[in-house]
Amino acid sequence: MRLLLARGASVNLTNNTGFTPVHHAIEAGAVESLAVLLDARADLTIAAKGVTPMQTARRLNNASILSLLQGAGGGR
C-alpha cells in the first residue's frame, strides 16, 4: 500500500459502491493498513452508502480502530 501511495494512488478513491480504502481497512480490521491510510491524510468524512468510517468502526466495536480514528479527528 505504501508503494501505491508513493506512486500517486489516491487514498480517497471510491469503488462502485462508494467505499474508500479506509472503509475496507476498517471492515477488515486492518489496523496497520488504516494507520498508513491515515498518515496519507485519508478523508474521514467520505460516507459510503451514507455511512462514515467512524460509524462503521462503532458498529464493529474495534477499540484499536476507534482509537486511531479518534486520534485522527474522525470522531463523527
| Within-domain flag for 42 | yes
- Whether 55 is in a domain gets the answer yes
- Asked if residue 31 is part of any domain, the answer here is yes
Q: Quick check: is 18 in a domain? A: yes
Residue-number span of the structural domain to which 63 is assigned: 2-71
pLDDT band at 1 (very low <50, low <70, confident <90, very high): confident
DSSP 40: T
- pTM for this one? 0.88
Asked if residue 76 is part of any domain, the answer here is no
Q: CA-to-CA distance for 55 and 13, rounded, in angstroms?
A: 19
Q: Which three cell numbers stand for residue 23?
A: 472503509
Classify residue 31 by burial, with Cβ atoms within 10 Å: 0-12, 13-18, 19+: middle
| Phi, psi (rounded to 5 degrees) for 44 | -90, 5
CATH of the domain at 10: 1.25.40.20
* Distance from C-alpha of 51 to C-alpha of 23, rounded to nearest angstrom: 9
Domain count for the chain: 1
For residue range 33-64, what is the model confidence (pLDDT) as tens digits? 999 999 999 999 999 999 999 999 999 999 99
The pLDDT confidence band at residue 73, using thresholds 50, 70 and 90, is confident
